[in-house]
Amino acid sequence: MSDATTPSESGTGLSRGARFLSVGSIWVLALVFSIVIGTISPSGQYASWLSLALAACVVASMCAQLATQQKDGFVNRLAASVSGAFVILGIAGAVLAIVAAAR
């Protein structure tokens, strides 16, 4: 029997709420970017702005995960943040493509 404990057992890991906040905030940011791009950007420039929004979400994800100051689960949290932002912006791109085609 080993007496080594995992970070969640020893109390040094992130709480579930902190993990959700650090990942969910990036998803909300991607959603906000999608709405702003859909309302402000010309229809011919949707793809360019969505690409820029994804890059901003990647940088914001790195900042959010580094701000937690926890190395345990960093890659998983970063992957969840970026993947979620990618899916949200991808769905927004599909919707905006349909809107642009209908014009």
pLDDT digits (tens, 9 = 90+) for 71-90: 899 999 999 999 999 999 99
Domain that holds residue 57: 22-102
Does a structural domain hold residue 54?
Answer: yes
Query: Does some domain include residue 46?
Result: yes
95 part of a folded domain:
yes
45 is a domain residue? yes
C-alpha distances in angstroms, 96 versus 32, 47, 67, 90, 93? 14, 9, 33, 10, 5
- Closest by CA position to 22, among listed 54, 71, 68: 68
| 7 found inside a domain | no
CB neighbours of residue 11 within 10 Å: 8
Report how many domains make up the chain: 1
Query: Whole-model pTM?
Result: 0.84
pLDDT digit string (tens) for the chain, length 103 residues: 544 545 544 456 788 888 899 999 999 999 999 999 999 999 889 999 999 999 999 999 999 999 999 889 999 999 999 999 999 999 999 999 999 998 8
Let me know: does 95 contact 46? Beta carbons within 8 Å: no
Is 4 part of a structural domain of the chain? Answer: no
